Amino acid sequence: MTFDEVSAEPVDTTESGVPHTEGDGHGPPDKSARKTEERRGGPQRAEVSNYEIVSHWFGQAAERLELRDDIAAVLRSSYREVQVQVPVKLQDDRIHVFSGYRVQHNGARGPYKGGIRFHPEVDLDEVRALAELMTWKTAIVGIPYGGAKGGVNVEPSKLNEDELQAVSRSFMNKIEKVLGPTRDIPAPDVGTNAQVMAWLMDEYGKLHGHSPACVTGKPIALEGSYGREAATGRGVVYMFCEVARERDISPSDTTFVVQGYGNVGSWAARLMQELGSRMVGASDGSGAIRNDHGIDADALAEHSRNGGALREFDSAEEIDPDELLETDCDVFIPAALGGMIHKQNADRLRCRMIVEGANSPTTPAADEILQEKDILVVPDVMANAGGVIVSYFEWVQNLQHFRWDEREVNDRLGNIMRRAFREVWSRADEGDVSLRTAAYELGIERVVDAAQTRGYIS
C-alpha cells in the first residue's frame, strides 16, 4: 500500500528509473547543469551544500531517537524526484532550455507541500534538501502536509514579464501530473511571487478545470489569502516575541539586522519595527548598508519595491556584505539563501540571537561556533514556518470557497507558531539540547508515527 495517491502515469524520477531507497540514501547522482558548471555561489556562501546541511541535522536527531537504520534510510531519500526540461524562446529569438525540478520527499502526513524557486543556482541537490526540510517543518508545526519543493534554474530578473510567464507555464505543463489539491500544492519561494502562482494556477486549470487549491500564495484577486505575503516574516517576528518573553527582552530596546531584504526579510523588518525595534543593518544581492541610528524598514521596502538596489538607499552607509555580520545587534535575521553563515564567518557575528528566516542559512560547523558563543538560534524548521501555515489556511479557504479576514489569519498563525515554539522549547529544555535538535526530533517522531500507522513502513 502506498500513501501517495497519484494515479497518473508514473513520471520517471531518476536517470535509471531505480527507486531511491538503496545505497547511502542520498538518491541518484545529481546530473543537473549546475554540477557541470562552475558554482556561482556568492562570495559569502559556504561550500557545504543545502543537502549536506539538512542531512547532518537529520542524522543527529535520528541517532538521538535511536531510529532504526532501515527507517532512517526511507526518510533520508525522496519519494519521487522529477526533472524536466523547460524550453522557452526568449527575446533573442532562440530557444533556451532550463532545468525544472519537483521533489516530493515524504507524504505520510498529508499532500506534499512546498515552494517553487526560480534561481540560477537551483539544482536537484538543493531542491531535494528543501523538500526534506518541508517534511520536518510541516510536522513540527502540526499542519497536515508532507514535504516537497520545486525550482527552475533560471535568473528571473533577466526575463521580461512574457518570458517569466512562459517559463512558469512551461514548467507547470511538465509537472502537472504529480500535482493537484490532494497530491502536491506548490507555493512561492525565492524568485517567484503571487503573479507566478496565478500563472501556475491558470495553466493547471486548463488541464484540470478551475482549481484554486492547486497552488497557494496566489493574489487576493484569485482566491489568495489575506496575510499570506507577510506570513513568513510575521512568523519570524512571533518567534522572536516568544524568545523575548522567555529571556525577558524588551522588543522596544532591541536592535536587529536583516540579511536578504526580499519578501521574508522586509516583512520581518517592518513588523519588528512596529514593535519598536530598530533595524541597524540590512543587505540584498546588490550589497549591504548600516546605520546605528536606525534604518526605516518601510522606506527601505518601498525603495526595493520600486526597483532600487539596497546599497543606493540614501539614509544609510554602504558597507561590505561581510561587515554586516559584525554589526552589533540583538537579533540577526538571515533571510537570503542557504549556507550564508558558515565556518569562515560565524565567529564574526555579534548578536545575541539568530532567527532563521531563510532555509538552511547556517552550516553545522557554524552552528557549533554559535553555540560556543552562546548565541541562541531559532532554527528555520520552526522560525520560517509562517509561510506554509498561511498557505495551509489559503488551501483550507479555497477548498471551502470561503475567505477569512486578515485578523483571523494572523491570530490563527500566532496560535500555531506559539504552540510549536512551546513544544520545541520545552523539549529542548528537558533534553538539554538545542532548539534545532529538539525541533528535528519532534518532526521526525511525528512523521515516523504517521508512516507506521498508515502501514507505509513497519
Is 160 or 426 the residue whose CB approaches ligand NAD more closely?
A: 160
CA dist 172 and 407 (Å) reads 33
Residue 8 CB neighbour total at 10 angstroms:
11
Is 15 or 312 the residue whose CB approaches ligand NAD more closely?
A: 312
Instruction: Tell the smallest beta-carbon distance from residue 187 to ligand NAD (Å).
Output: 7
CA-CA distances (angstroms) from residue 346 to 39, 300, 323, 402? 22, 26, 12, 46
Instruction: Tell the smallest beta-carbon distance from residue 292 to ligand NAD (Å).
Output: 20
- 149 tagged catalytic: yes
Instruction: Tell the smallest beta-carbon distance from residue 454 to ligand NAD (Å).
Output: 27
Is 46 or 442 the residue whose CB approaches ligand NAD more closely?
A: 46
Burial class (CB in 10 A: 0-12, 13-18, 19+), 96: middle
* Cα 134 → chain centroid: 8
Task: Give me the residues that bind ligand NAD (CB under 6 A), please.
Answer: 42, 44, 188-191, 232, 259-265, 283-285, 321, 335-337, 357-359, 384, 387
Catalytic residue among 31, 35, 113, 149: 149
Q: In 404-417, which positions are buried (b, 16+ CB within 10 angstroms) versus exposed (e)?
A: beeeebbebbbebb
Residue 305 CB neighbour total at 10 angstroms:
9
CA dist 316 and 258 (Å) reads 14
CA-CA distances (angstroms) from residue 92 to 85, 95, 154, 158? 19, 9, 16, 12
CA dist 435 and 427 (Å) reads 8
DSSP string, 203-226: HHHHHH---GGGSSS--GGGTPPT
Which residue's CB comes closest to ligand NAD?
262
Residue 219 CB neighbour total at 10 angstroms:
15
Closest by CA to 194, choosing from 115, 255, 311, is 115
Catalytic residues: 149
